[in-house]
Structure 1
Amino acid sequence: MTKTVWVFPGQGSQSVGMGADLLVVGKEKLDQAEAILGWSIAEKCQSSAEELAKTQFTQPCLYTVSAILADLLKAKGIKPDLVTGHSLGEYTALYCAGVIDFAAGLELVKQRSLLMAAASGGAMTALIGFDRPLLEETVAKTEGVIIANDNSDSQVVISGTNEAVQSICDAVKTKRAIPLAVSGAFHSPMMAEAATKFALALAQVEFNDASVPVISNVDPSEATKSGATLRDLAIKQMTSPVRWRQICNYLAANEFKQTIEVGPGKVLTGLIKRSVPGMALVNVSNLEQVEKAG
Structure 2
Amino acid sequence: MTKTVWIFPGQGSQAVGMGLDLAEVGKDKLAKAEQILGWSVLDKSQTDAAELAKTQFTQPCLYVISAILTDILQGRGIKPDAVAGHSLGEYSALYCAGVIDFATGLELVKERSLLMADASGGAMTALIGFDRPQLEMAIAETADVVLANDNSADQVVISGTADAVKSICDRVKSKRAIALAVSGAFHSPLMGAAANQFAQVLAKTIFNDADMSVITNVAPNAPTTSGQELRDLLSQQMTAPVRWREICLYLAEQGFTKAIEVGSGKVLTGLVKRSAPSLGLVNISTLSQAHELMA
- Alpha-carbon distance between aligned partners in 2 of 1:151 and 1:258, rounded to the nearest angstrom: 18
Show the counterpart of 2:288. Answer: 288
- Alpha-carbon distance between aligned partners in 2 of 1:278 and 1:224, rounded to the nearest angstrom: 24
- Alpha-carbon distance between aligned partners in 2 of 1:69 and 1:103, rounded to the nearest angstrom: 16
- Alpha-carbon distance between aligned partners in 2 of 1:254 and 1:95, rounded to the nearest angstrom: 23
Letter in 2 for 1:288: S
Letter in 2 for 1:49: A
Matches within 5 A, 1:11-26: 11-26=11-26
Show the counterpart of 2:132. Answer: 132
Q: Is 1:256 equivalent to 2:217 in the alignment?
A: no
Which of 236-245 and 40-49 deviates more? Answer: 40-49
Q: Is 1:167 equivalent to 2:171 in the alignment?
A: no
SS across alignment from 2:214: coil
User: Unpaired segments of 5 or more residues in structure 1?
Assistant: none
Matches within 5 A, 1:129-208: 129-208=129-208
Percent identity between matched residues is 68
- Alpha-carbon distance between aligned partners in 1 of 2:199 and 2:17, rounded to the nearest angstrom: 33
> TM-score of the superposition, structure 2-length normalised?
0.99
Show the counterpart of 2:81. Answer: 81
Show the counterpart of 1:49. Answer: 49
Show the counterpart of 1:231. Answer: 231
Give the paired residue count: 294
CA offset at residue 278 of structure 1?
Answer: 2.0
Deviations along 1:46-85, whole A, 9 cap, x unmatched? 1111111110000000000000001101112111000000
- Alpha-carbon distance between aligned partners in 1 of 2:218 and 2:277, rounded to the nearest angstrom: 24
- Alpha-carbon distance between aligned partners in 2 of 1:8 and 1:126, rounded to the nearest angstrom: 20
> TM-score of the superposition, structure 1-length normalised?
0.99
Deviations along 1:243-262, whole A, 9 cap, x unmatched? 00000111011010000000
Show the counterpart of 1:6. Answer: 6
- Alpha-carbon distance between aligned partners in 2 of 1:239 and 1:261, rounded to the nearest angstrom: 25
Show the counterpart of 2:215. Answer: 215
Deviations along 1:20-62, whole A, 9 cap, x unmatched? 0101100010000011011111111111111111100000000
User: Unpaired segments of 5 or more residues in structure 2?
Assistant: none
SS across alignment from 1:293: helix
RMSD: 0.6
CA offset at residue 222 of structure 1?
Answer: 1.4
Show the counterpart of 1:121. Answer: 121
Deviations along 1:187-235, whole A, 9 cap, x unmatched? 0000000000001111121100000000110110111000010000000
